Structure 1
Amino acid sequence: MKYLKIILILLMPMAFSNCSKSSSNGNMSPAPTDLTISAAISTDNSGNVAFTATATNAVSYDYDFGNGTFQTVPSGIITYKYPSSGTYTVNVIAKSSGGQTIAKSVQVTVVSNGGPAGMTLVWSDEFNTDGAPDPSKWGYDTGTGGGGWGNNELEYYTSRSNNVNVSNGTLKITAVKENYNGSAYTSARMLSNGKFSFKYGRIEISAKLPAGLGTWPAIWMLGNNFSTAGWPNCGEIDIMEQRGSELNKIFGTLHYPGHSGANGRGSTTIIQNSSTQFHLYTLDWSAASINFSVDGNVFFTVPNDNTLPFNQNFFVILNLAMGGSFGGSVDPNFTSGTMEVDYVRVYQ
């Protein structure tokens, strides 16, 4: 009996230990679920975004603001000021008291008065008002592409609403297969000439490109002295060009005396989903250099100096051509194609 009592006494702490461990497992906190994130972007160009994250069973939220800044927010509610304009993917991780997590992302596009690298936003079009583009910012070149622009283009440029309009927060320049004033296609060519121009700074254009064979979307600029000096003496900066025969291949090119037409000074980069997703096409321009980039990745740099025509004001042009010396043959089954622009922003 004495030995039996000793064995029972020795077993009792083990039983209590096992019971305690089992109890701990049973009381483990549940994992967080149903994570939602809302983002209210300030309309005053301050760069402020008010985030609210909520999740069942969460006790804290880890924010990655998409620009290298991280912060833990117990309540899930925070207003963050972005120092630079841009499109950011914000990742939020909700945590339970037991350490389990659930994650979700949201994308925000922010305009900050600080601008990129401390620059200031000096001109923009967010294309938020449905209808015709803002006439205080844009005019049009109209007429036949083959007869007026020197590229043997096939379209007739118009300012009609079926070729150019703003709807649902984006500008849409649409090329249409139709017989119009002797041309087989119509499209639009917008320009800020006489309304806005600038010398040096950064221009950003968020755009989604057409996919049809023979399409030739372009985002570019010409020197203000175009009408007096002529081309290429005025200088031309092609921020983005693409042709339907080489989807996802983006061209950045400078044209000026000695480097005009097919002899333009340029380079290319390959991206993904140019016709199904918006990408950011950027030109950084100073007295020292001209840099071309897509989605923040610089792919072409040219030193600038006072012998080049890139030290004066330039105006902005957005157009969608068909065929021509660059666009090439058009798909006989082509009916329409659209270049969609979310915004144009200029910083200095």
Structure 2
Amino acid sequence: MWNLFSLLKMLPFLFLCTIAAVRAQFEVPDASVEVLRPRGFKVSIPDVPGIKLFAFHGKINEEFDGREAGTFARDILKPKNGSWTFVDKITKLKPGDILYFWTYVDFDDGERVLGYPKDDQMFVVKGQDINKTPVRDPIKPTETGNLFFDDFSSNSLNPARWIVEQKFAGEPDYEFVMYVNRPETIQIKNNKLKINPVLTQRVFGEGFLTSFSGYDFGENCTADASDTLGCRRSYNGGFLLPPVVSAQISTKNKFSFKYGKVEIRAKLPAGDWIYPEIYLNPLHSVYGHSNYESGQIRIAFSPGNSDQNKLLQGGVVLGQSNAARDYGIKKVEAFENWSDDFHKFVVNWQPNEITLSVDDRMYGRITPPSNGFAELANNLRINNADKWGTGSKIAPFDQEMYLVLGVGVGGFNFKDSHDKPWRNGKRNMLTQFNNAQDEWLPSWSEKSALQVDYIKVTKN
């Protein structure tokens, strides 16, 4: 017979057994996977009382080797609409793709919070998964409440907002183009801006690259007064005229701002050695004129080469050296080329940081060191960084900037490599590039244009 004293002695043990049984009974709920269109997917579990955190880790078409982080790894800190949901808006899934994943939940059983993983899960994409999700046309923002807005709904560029650059490209990127205002390189069609690189000789005729008379933009030239080669050039001792004509537009002296959010929906160009120019440039060269002494903010950058076009880059350029070009650049890689579809690119420029997002997913944050970017002078080989010390902590990015949209080809934006047909800084680099035309021109197509749906700037 149990007496009262014996029962009281057993109570703590019985209580612990009960708690252990409760813990053992909890299982991470099964996840549901939904394929989104035109790209992306989401994985969710129901919001069971007690769940404090949901983590998702996934790979596409590659099994896990143990409990790795995976290609996708994110902690979801709160539920929404009755579910804990991971959302990816970049990856384009197709029938036959397999999503391998594991999930993890922090669960509060009333006594303490414990972690519970659920391993070895998978989802096979089927045709009906792709087809059942309707395609929705993106809703364009309106002009109301914006500092700047253009959705290219008219048949021509608004001269109150934009200038079309007409100049030879030069420092600091030395791209292999001349920017011209011609229908071959720039047009607005179906409410979209289209900028297209074209071989120079297709526009100006055979023999143009070695013309001793050269080309003079005259009074239409938009190059800075300090750029002596920006308005007129001719063939000189093997120094070719640019083999490519392209277009570039800007809001210089039309619209500039200091701090705010830039949002642009665009389709990036494809083709070897082609790249988009979606920048914020300094209106006044307060900290110096050449070699990015006054900085540049890159909203979206991705080389058009097939082996590089899955990598998106954005951030700040602090100087001409490779280290100064790379330090403030953030990257995100996709499974599809960035030139395959339109995406929404966002830069949020604030007095203490600059953040980067694509399709509502933040992928980069740049903050200056404790003493400002000036303290990076030695490591990044920046000669004029002492001037930044006269500004704020985020200098040189504490001055008004303006928008730039264009397409560049070649030049210093590509580091020297064994497969690059020119060497940066060589006098004959234009000739080297042009002589390799049979290698890169076949990759150019109608997809080599930068297409812009809209661009807007708001003040946070």
Q: Normalized against structure 2, the TM-score is what?
A: 0.48
CA distance in 2, matches of 1:277, 1:103: 18
Identical pairs, percent: 24
Question: In structure 2, do the counterparts of structure 1 residues 200 and 275 end up closer, same or farther at CA, with 3 Å as the change threshold?
Answer: same
Q: State the partner residue of 2:153.
A: 128
Q: Give the SS at the match of 1:217.
A: strand
Q: State the partner residue of 1:323.
A: 410
Q: Give the SS at the match of 2:173.
A: coil
- Counterpart selection for 2:271 from 206, 209, 212: 212
CA distance in 2, matches of 1:113, 1:210: 27
- Counterpart selection for 2:293 from 230, 233, 243: 233
Specify every segment of 5 or more residues in structure 1 that has no aligned partner in the other structure, as ranges. Answer: 1-67, 71-101, 115-119
Question: In structure 2, do the counterparts of structure 1 residues 334 and 142 end up closer, same or farther at CA, with 3 Å as the change threshold?
Answer: farther
Shift of 1:143: 2.5
CA contact (8 A) 2:146 2:457 kept: yes
Shift of 1:275: 1.3
Shift of 1:261: 5.2
- Aligned AA (2:359): D
CA contact (8 A) 1:247 1:274 kept: yes
Q: Give the SS at the match of 2:265.
A: strand
Question: In structure 2, do the counterparts of structure 1 residues 150 and 110 end up closer, same or farther at CA, with 3 Å as the change threshold?
Answer: closer
Q: Give the SS at the match of 2:147.
A: strand
- Counterpart selection for 1:203 from 262, 271, 274: 262
Question: In structure 2, do the counterparts of structure 1 residues 214 and 303 end up closer, same or farther at CA, with 3 Å as the change threshold?
Answer: same
Q: State the partner residue of 1:108.
A: 138
CA contact (8 A) 1:218 1:242 kept: no
Question: In structure 2, do the counterparts of structure 1 residues 346 and 161 end up closer, same or farther at CA, with 3 Å as the change threshold?
Answer: same
- Aligned AA (1:298): M
Q: State the partner residue of 1:152.
A: 174
Q: Give the SS at the match of 1:160.
A: coil
Question: In structure 2, do the counterparts of structure 1 residues 103 and 226 end up closer, same or farther at CA, with 3 Å as the change threshold?
Answer: closer
Structure 1 stretch displaced more, 200-209 or 328-337:
328-337
Specify every segment of 5 or more residues in structure 2 that has no aligned partner in the other structure, as ranges. Answer: 1-79, 83-131, 205-214, 216-240, 373-391, 415-419, 422-436
Could you report, residue by residue, the CA deviation over 1:17-70 in whole angstroms, capped at 9, with x for unpaired residues? xxxxxxxxxxxxxxxxxxxxxxxxxxxxxxxxxxxxxxxxxxxxxxxxxxx789
CA distance in 1, matches of 2:134, 2:182: 42
Question: In structure 2, do the counterparts of structure 1 residues 112 and 343 end up closer, same or farther at CA, with 3 Å as the change threshold?
Answer: closer
CA contact (8 A) 1:224 1:234 kept: no
* Residue 333 in structure 1 maps to residue 363 in structure 2: no
Number of residues paired by the alignment?
242
- Aligned AA (2:311): K
Q: State the partner residue of 1:277.
A: 341
CA distance in 1, matches of 2:341, 2:163: 27
Q: Give the SS at the match of 1:333.
A: helix
Please report the RMSD computed on the Cα atoms of aligned residues, expressed in angstroms: 2.7
CA contact (8 A) 1:177 1:334 kept: no
CA contact (8 A) 2:318 2:325 kept: no
